[in-house]
Amino acid sequence: MAHGIYTDRDFQVAEVKAWHGLTRIAKPTIQHFPKIVPLPLYYNGGKEMMFGDKKFVVPVAEDDMLPVAPPYCDGTYTLFTPREAWEWVSGLLTGTEYNIQSVGMLWNRSFWFMSTELTELKNLSIGDGRDVKFQLNFSGGLDRKVSPQAELSSIVAVCHNTINLSRTTGEVLFNERATKNFKTRLEAVKSEVGKAVGMTAVFKAAMDNLAKNPCDQGKARAIFAGYVTPDGEDKMSTRTQKAVKELVDLHLVGLGNRGETEFDLLNAYTQHLTHGGAESKVPAGRRFASSEFGNGADSKADFVKVLTTERLIWFDDILFRGEKLLAAI
């Protein structure tokens, strides 16, 4: 599993130990991020590295004076450091109750992240009364491979895989390449991002909609059959039928489920991947790891899209396919 904490320079700081067991237990502060500065490159006896009128520099962490990314041209790329990200989030959330839960730097410090709990939203619930979590996650690369991005998510970022899942499935509030005018654009969207955070944005609305959409046992069975049966197969294998039965059981009586809405449908699918059913033979630890950080995580993200952002593209086709597969048993 790619947690990204592979060198002595990499770290994740939080008050609660994460799944990878490498957490530095402490209350995250801005000082946990090293100060990163651009230093000039020299060659031929002390000349600064220039190409035409372009000057090249290398980003260096001041605590160990080692690079965190390759050199870049300071005329075309904007170095946006994790300390600057911390200050941006702090300014954005002024007047809002929040708690920065987890911060870190990964892949030899070429990637940074911070995960912020919106504490004043902790007691909010979706349409059927179930609690939801809201995190403002912010992350980006220093090596120009990953653009800085902020998104609303239910995921606490503690490693590369959780960040990847958050960036993929969360409600993206800001994503911009760190080019010459990056900081101007970042400041320009500040008020809009603040409004989205204040409104709890689209995630809660999407879950509210799922809680309002009826989904009985028969509909759930068809959706699960159409979704989990591998593409290209016109009959369900015994193994697939068993998986569908397990999913339907979780839809009806899974944790917090009543077998009534599409939110029960979503919960059933995520519980199936995370915890398994009563007859599951996969060790709990291995199932959890896959669910949160492997193929299972990708599958959960895809299923969320089927029910929400890509519903018009896939939902009816999956339902129709499932009905045909069930009729062929």
**96 plus 235 within the same structural domain:** no
* Three-state SS annotation for the chain: CCCCCCCCCCEEEECCCCCCCCCEECCCCHHHCCCEEEEECEECCCEECEECCEEEEEEEECCCCEECCCCEECCCECCCCHHHHHHHHHHHCCCCCCEEEEEEEECCCCEEEEEEECHHHCCCECCCCCECCCEEEEEEECCCCCCCEEEEECCCCCCHHHHHHHHHHCEEEEECCCECCHHHHHHHCHHHHHHHHHCCHHHHHHHHHHHHCECCHHHHHHHHHHHHCCCCCCCCCHHHHHHHHHHHHHHHHCCCCCCCEHHHHHHHHHHHHHCCCCCCCCCHHHHHHHHHHCHHHHHHHHHHHHHCCCHHHHHHHHHHHHHHHHHCC
Mean pLDDT of the 209-221 span = 94
- Answer yes or no: is 5 within a domain: no
Its pTM stands at 0.62
Q: Provide the pLDDT confidence category of residue 296 given band limits of 50, 70 and 90.
A: low
- Taking only the tens place, the pLDDT of each residue in 118-169 is 876 665 566 666 666 678 999 999 999 999 999 888 889 999 999 988 998 7
Q: Tell which of 166, 199, 232 closes a domain.
A: 199
pLDDT computed for residue 282 by the predictor: 39
Residue 207 included in any domain? no
pLDDT at 60: 98
Residue 206 lies in a domain: no
Which pLDDT belongs to residue 54?
84
Same domain, 169 and 50: yes
Domain boundary (169, 199, 229) is at 199
Is 3 within a domain? no
pLDDT digits (tens, 9 = 90+) for 159-213: 999 998 899 878 788 898 988 889 888 888 887 777 666 655 456 677 788 999 9
Verify that 189 and 219 share a domain, yes or no: no
Judge whether 4 lies within some domain: no
Residues 6+ apart with CB under 8 A from 220: 247, 248, 251, 259, 264, 265, 268
In a domain, 205, yes or no: no
Is residue 75 a part of any domain in this protein?
Answer: yes
In a shared domain, residues 119 and 229: no
Q: Are 241 and 178 in the same domain?
A: no
Residues 170 and 234 in one domain: no
Same domain, 166 and 281: no
120 shares a domain with 252: no
Same domain, 236 and 149: no
Flag whether pLDDT at 230 surpasses 60: yes
Query: Is 59's pLDDT higher than 50?
Result: yes
- Does the structure show a pLDDT above 80 at 225? yes
**Structurally, how many domains does the chain consist of?**
2
In a shared domain, residues 254 and 182:
no
* Whether residue 28 is found in the same domain as residue 141: yes
In a domain, 1, yes or no: no
Residues spanned by the domain of 239: 213-327
Query: Which comes out higher in pLDDT, residue 198 or 251?
Result: 251
End residue of a domain, out of 199, 230, 260 = 199
Same domain, 222 and 185: no
